[in-house]
């Protein structure tokens, strides 16, 4: 059965919005070429989306830069304000952007391990409030029908731990501070009109690497997170796989040789984490006599790996990188044997610091351990991938909600 005229219009409008989201501003002629629609159909959708306040003329293109065919249409940036949060055990980073992702404010706050739950939650929520106020000061004033700049439309939150696939909430975990779970509820209370979306940090990093980083050309890959802790995200045929309980990628619990025991249901000591977590990498480097000073925003392991990469001709640095590649290959080989992803991205701060030098070493070892051809790539986004993925998730959700609202309003 052919689609009704209203359904066809909605499909065309969604396609155009998706193109404007990923490609940036386009002319009507470019929309016609990319959508395959007729000129009248493109003219109609441009008129509908402009009238609904979703797109606007943002400039002109072409040599002459004048006339109706030169108009560049883009998503209305100040239609909504978004916040992205990267929640770590040691602190929170937040950025606030407009609807097209232009960053208006960014801030962070450290939260020590001895900070009480209530104090930690208040520090994190106050951080979001301050960033939103700063964004209000630098952003465009709200237009008619748009949310005020002082009120967030959508929050994308990246956190360690398991996300319940049924409720979308962060599950209780003995390995994480209590303020993590309290934070989401507090944000709901402080910003009752905003939509809050919670996702595992490694999953968000994979989304960002797929959209803007090392896996842009891959529909199937595994991201191996290497930061303070370890984790993995699995993308198969373009879709993020979370598992029955939200636990896909808990590779820190993977039993591997070379540790002093086996992991338990509540503790990943003895698992892959004991070989590839930041503390384990630091201990490995110390065995080779290597030292480095880490920046305040990175694990010490990243500084050690970067220092070794910068001095590859020294015996200690080469020995350390070879030993680290041996460890990483154990986790990567297990994933490759089960999933055959064709590509493994070494993510997080450590993966980015290791770059091609470390990735090539892991590739060489994988070829010896696994019969399946696998490309190993270094992260492009590093630790910033979590925040970027949270923002992309918030943008997608906000644009979809605003689009759906506009079409409900216009429906006959």
* pLDDT, tens digit (0-9, with 9 covering 90-100), for 220-244: 999 999 999 999 999 999 999 999 8
Please tell me whether residue 243 adopts helix, strand or coil conformation.
coil
Check for a shared fold between 81-203+387-404 and 214-380.
Answer: yes
Q: Which of the four CATH numbers 3.30.479.30, 3.30.1490.20, 2.30.30.90, 3.30.420.40 does domain 214-380 have?
A: 3.30.420.40
Phi, psi of 297 (to 5 degrees): -100, 15
Using CA atoms, how far residue 377 sits from 105, 160, 242, 273, in Å, is: 31, 23, 22, 20
pLDDT of 152? 86
pLDDT range class, residue 140, cuts 50, 70, 90: low
CB 300 within 8 A of CB 284: no
Burial of 68 per CB tally in 10 Å (0-12, 13-18, 19+): exposed
Q: Is the pLDDT of residue 77 over 60?
A: yes
Mean pLDDT of 46-53: 90
Worst-scoring range by mean pLDDT, 26-30, 170-174, 197-201, 222-226? Answer: 170-174
CB 109 within 8 A of CB 123: yes
pLDDT of 139? 59
Mean pLDDT of 70-77: 89
Beta 26-27 vs 375-378: how paired, if at all? unpaired
Q: Is the pLDDT of residue 385 over 60?
A: yes
pLDDT of 332? 97
For the sheet containing 195-200, what is the strand order? Answer: 103-110, 91-98, 81-88, 154-159, 195-200
Task: Output the CATH code of domain 81-203+387-404.
Answer: 3.30.420.40
pLDDT range class, residue 66, cuts 50, 70, 90: low
Please tell me whether residue 275 adopts helix, strand or coil conformation.
helix
Q: Is the pLDDT of residue 133 over 70?
A: yes
pLDDT of 172? 67
CB 56 within 8 A of CB 50: yes
CB 101 within 8 A of CB 395: yes
CATH architecture of 5-76: Orthogonal Bundle (1.10)
Residue 230 Ramachandran class (φ > 0 left, ψ -120 to 50 alpha, else beta) = beta
Using CA atoms, how far residue 290 sits from 76, 186, 228, 352, in Å, is: 51, 43, 18, 19
Angle at 294 between CA 130 and CA 105, to 5 degrees: 20
Which contiguous run of DSSP H or E holds residue 278?
Answer: helix 278-287
Residue 248 CB neighbours (<10 A): 20
% of the chain residues with pLDDT over 70: 92
pLDDT by residue (tens digit) across 109-122?
Answer: 999 888 999 999 99
Give the domain ranges of the chain. Answer: 5-76, 81-203+387-404, 214-380
Q: Is the pLDDT of residue 146 over 70?
A: no
User: For 139, which DSSP code?
Assistant: S
What is the average pLDDT value for the chain, to the nearest integer? 89
If we measure between CA atoms, which residue out of 179, 175, 159 comes closest to residue 118? 179
Q: Is the pLDDT of residue 173 over 70?
A: no
% of the chain residues with pLDDT over 90: 65
Worst-scoring range by mean pLDDT, 13-22, 167-176, 278-287, 301-310? Answer: 167-176
Per the listing, tokens 């939200």 go with 246
Compute CA 320 distance to the chain's CA centroid, rounded to the nearest angstrom. 30
pLDDT of 150? 46
Mean pLDDT of 283-300: 91
Q: Compute, in degrees rounded to 10, the torsion defined by CA atoms 237, 240, 243, 249.
A: 110
Per the listing, tokens 């010896």 go with 368
């Amino acid at each position: 059965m052919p689609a009704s005229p209203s359904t066809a219009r909605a499909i065309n409008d969604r396609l155009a919005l998706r193109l404007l989201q990923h490609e940036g501003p386009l002319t009507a002629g470019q929309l016609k070429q990319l959508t395959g629609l007729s000129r009248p159909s493109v003219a109609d959708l441009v008129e509908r989306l402009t009238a609904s306040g979703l797109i606007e003329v943002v400039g002109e293109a072409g040599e002459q830069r004048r006339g109706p065919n030169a108009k560049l249409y883009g998503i209305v940036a100040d239609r909504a304000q978004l916040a992205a949060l990267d929640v770590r055990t040691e602190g929170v980073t937040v950025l606030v952007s407009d609807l097209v992702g232009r960053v208006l404010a960014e801030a962070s706050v450290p939260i020590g391990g001895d900070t009480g739950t209530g104090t930690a939650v208040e520090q994190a929520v106050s951080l979001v409030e301050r960033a939103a106020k700063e964004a209000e000061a630098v952003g465009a004033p709200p237009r008619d029908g748009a949310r005020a700049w002082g009120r967030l439309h959508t929050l994308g939150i990246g956190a360690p731990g398991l996300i319940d696939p049924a409720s979308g909430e962060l599950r209780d975990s003995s390995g994480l501070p209590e303020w993590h779970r309290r934070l989401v509820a507090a944000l709901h209370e402080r910003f009752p009109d905003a939509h809050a979306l919670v996702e595992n940090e490694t999953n968000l990093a994979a989304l960002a690497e797929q959209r803007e980083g090392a896996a842009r050309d891959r529909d199937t890959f595994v991201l191996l997170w290497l930061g303070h802790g370890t984790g993995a995200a699995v993308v198969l045929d373009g879709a993020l796989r979370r598992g029955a309980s939200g636990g896909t990628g808990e590779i820190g619990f993977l039993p591997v040789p070379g540790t002093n025991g086996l992991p338990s249901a509540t503790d990943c000591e003895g698992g892959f984490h004991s070989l590839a977590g930041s503390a384990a990498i630091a201990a490995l480097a110390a065995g080779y006599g290597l030292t480095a000073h880490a920046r305040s925003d990175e694990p010490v392991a990243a500084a050690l790996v970067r220092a070794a990469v910068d001095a590859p001709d020294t015996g200690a640095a080469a020995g350390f990188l070879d030993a680290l590649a041996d460890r990483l290959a154990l986790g990567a080989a297990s994933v490759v044997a089960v999933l055959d992803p064709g590509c493994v991205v070494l993510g997080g701060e450590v993966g980015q610091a290791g770059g091609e030098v470390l990735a090539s070493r892991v590739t060489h070892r994988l070829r010896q351990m696994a019969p399946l051809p696998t490309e190993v790539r270094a992260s492009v986004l590093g630790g910033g991938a979590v925040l970027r993925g949270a923002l992309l998730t918030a943008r997608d959700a906000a644009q979809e909600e605003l689009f759906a609202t506009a079409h409900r309003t216009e429906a006959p």
